[in-house]
Amino acid sequence: MPLTRALALALSLAAFSPLVLAQLTIDINVSGVDRELENNIRQFLSLEQQKAHPLMSEGRLRRLHKKAPSEITRALQPFGYYRPVVKAELVQASDNHWQASYSVESGPPLLIGEVDFEVSQEMGEDPEFRRLIDKLPLQKGEVFNHRQYESIKTDLSRLAAERGYVEARFAEHEVLIDLDAYEARIKLHYEGGRRYRFGKVELQQDLLEPQLLQRYIPFEQGSPYNYTALIDLQQALNDSNHFQAVEVSPGQPDPDNAEIPVTVTLTPRKQHRYGLGMGYGTDTGARTSFSWEMPRLNRNGHRFSSEAKISEIGYSLSAAYRVPVLNPRTDQLIYNIGQVNEKTDVSDSTVRTVGINLNRSREAWRESLSLTFQEEKFEVGSDQGVSTLLMPGVNWSRSWGSSSIFTFEGLRFDAGLRGAHEALISDTSFLQLQGGIKAINRLGRRNRIITRGRIGTIWTNDFQQLPSSVRFFAGGAQSVRGFGYQSLGPKDDNGEVVGGNYLMVGSIEYEHSVTEKWGAALFYDAGNAMDNFADKLERGAGLGIRWRSPVGPVRIDLANAVSRDDRPWRLHISIGPDL
């Protein structure tokens, strides 16, 4: 028995070995068409799909090669080419090596001779459908493309579902290909039926007052259904920081009243959140921070947060109590208290503050109204003292761009006004106005041009009484690189920087992305703090390395103080979002 099995195995191997030895290799060349058409041709070619088959033989190869012209013709039809000319050639280059070549002339494209497109009246008046219809790619006289036709049908169905046309259907959809007239005639009739409305919103939670959560909902029961509004609601609840998980789900459409109910399931965050951070910046040196937050103090959505920071130039302690007001997703009333100690090469100050802020949105703009009581012990140059100020203020800001973390196209603008008066508790009177702008523009596929500028002015009759936190200084990684942090400004009789009434800083930077995460930069900065806008501007220039981290670009810059006679070099390191 073993001998019989061994003999059978040997005979099988002997029969199979010629096939193994005779394995064919085939090169396939397609010419005369662009990459997209070539890829589709290769998808249709049976020879392409089977060329590596272990049982490929010369006979099979020739049969598949003979089928290739008809397969290529079918591959071109979805793109509107129905009269191609295909020249096929099969050459045996060596014993087991073959070359199949197909030269393709796609021929004249099939044009659209007639388009019969209709949607129901309510759909036609829907602005979203109008935008889709106005840019339909298939028009009379254009090349007919099957993929575009199917894409139109998909887009209509998708938009109908998103806009609440639950009963929408294609009443007619057909394409007649007339090869004699060599044209395509399209008939596409889409019936929308009724547009459903938002039904009742069920909030599955026992965390916050329902009246508060209702203010997050961007639609009312009975308003036209729009899936985008559900996404907006989910994003708003996620951004509230009250919940660990948010699930917004449309329910089963009710045909009796043409409504779609909505269910919102909310999972609370933990009662306490803690954070620990470490970092380094040349303006601050090594630094660490610790934060503690209570995201939900009560059913009215009040929150508490606090943070402690320590760096080589000082420390800060802060706490804030936040109350949602008006539109709770964007508007907050914030009670805050804090203390900041900062000791730089030019100043030493300890600032204690108590204040209240109303932060709110005005369409695309962010507005912050503030009232801050500040006590500051300061020493800057030969000026020193203890300052008490009650400062009302307002700040406006707006960003344009797809992302604030990293973007190839973006813009940010901010402007702020604050002041104090001796008649209202304060030791001195002043008014301070400042604003800044930063623009990021794409230059080619891998390059960015980044420009920024900041300007400020102070009106006061007694500058020496102003604490250092109110005065203007320049220099550092976010100001004029090549100079130390807050090392630029007017000097006193002892040659010590004491800050200025005016600020003017500008920068231009060219950045090239070497890889997806790494880049290089060249930059030129100019600016100063001054007593007169006609005073000299200091200048710095250099080069840098960029790494795109999850929290924003890490910037390592080597800058030269080109306006100084000794032209010193300085290293700057900073981390933060683009906008």
Instruction: At 19, list the tokens.
Output: 């096939």
Please state the rounded mean pLDDT for residues 575-579: 87
The SS3 assignment for 59 reads helix
CA distances to 16, 25, 64, 69, 415 from 57, in Å:
13, 10, 11, 20, 78
- Is the pLDDT at 187 greater than 50? The verdict is yes
Residue type for 114, please? E
Beta bridge partners of 208: none
pLDDT at residue number 4? 52
Please state the rounded mean pLDDT for residues 170-189: 93
Say what the alpha-carbon torsion angle 516, 518, 523, 526 is, to the nearest 10 degrees. 100
For 265: left if phi > 0, alpha if psi spans -120 to 50, otherwise beta; the answer is: beta
pLDDT at residue number 16? 41
Please state the rounded mean pLDDT for residues 461-487: 94
351-405: pLDDT as tens digits: 999 999 999 998 889 999 999 999 999 999 888 899 999 999 999 999 998 888 8
Architecture of domain 197-268: Roll (3.10)
Beta bridge partners of 187: 116, 174
Residue found by looking up tokens 């090669």 in the block: 65
CATH no. for 273-575:
2.40.160.50
Cβ-based neighbour number of residue 296 at 10 Å: 21
Band of pLDDT at residue 135, cut at 50, 70 and 90:
confident
- Is the pLDDT at 5 greater than 70? The verdict is no
- Is the pLDDT at 231 greater than 60? The verdict is yes
CB proximity list for 350: less than 8 A, separation 6 or greater: 339, 340, 341, 376, 377, 378
Architecture of domain 111-191: Roll (3.10)
Instruction: At 85, list the tokens.
Output: 């000319």
Q: How far apart are CA 511 and CA 523, in angstroms?
A: 9
The SS3 assignment for 363 reads coil
76-111: pLDDT as tens digits: 999 999 999 999 999 998 888 999 999 999 999 999
pLDDT at residue number 22? 56
- Is the pLDDT at 15 greater than 50? The verdict is no
pLDDT at residue number 18? 43
Query: Among 213-217, 315-319, 331-335, which stretch is predicted with the lowest mean pLDDT?
Result: 213-217
Band of pLDDT at residue 521, cut at 50, 70 and 90:
very high
CB proximity list for 4: less than 8 A, separation 6 or greater: none
Cβ-based neighbour number of residue 375 at 10 Å: 16
Q: How far apart are CA 412 and CA 347, in angstroms?
A: 30
258-292: pLDDT as tens digits: 999 999 999 988 889 999 988 888 888 889 999 99
Q: How far apart are CA 477 and CA 567, in angstroms?
A: 17
Please state the rounded mean pLDDT for residues 298-327: 94
Beta bridge partners of 414: 397, 436
Q: How many helices (DSSP H) and strands (DSSP E) are in the chain?
A: 9, 25
- Percent above pLDDT 90 for the chain: 76
Instruction: At 68, list the tokens.
Output: 């290739």
Band of pLDDT at residue 329, cut at 50, 70 and 90:
confident
Furthest C-alpha separation in the chain: 117
- In DSSP notation, 536-558 reads PPEEEEEEEEEEEETTEEEEEEE
H-helix or E-strand containing 340? strand 332-343
Residue found by looking up tokens 């006004």 in the block: 417
Estimate the share of the chain in helix, then strand, then coil, as percent rounded to the nearest 5.
20, 50, 30
Q: How far apart are CA 225 and CA 162, in angstroms?
A: 8
- Percent above pLDDT 70 for the chain: 96
CA-based nearest residue to 161, from 201, 190, 125, 202: 190
**CATH ID of 23-105, from 2.60.120.10, 3.90.1150.10, 3.10.20.310, 3.40.50.300:** 3.10.20.310
Query: Among 132-146, 153-167, 415-429, which stretch is predicted with the lowest mean pLDDT?
Result: 132-146
pLDDT at residue number 83? 93
Query: pLDDT averaged over the chain?
Result: 91
Write down the domain spans for the chain. 23-105, 111-191, 197-268, 273-575
- Is the pLDDT at 158 greater than 70? The verdict is yes
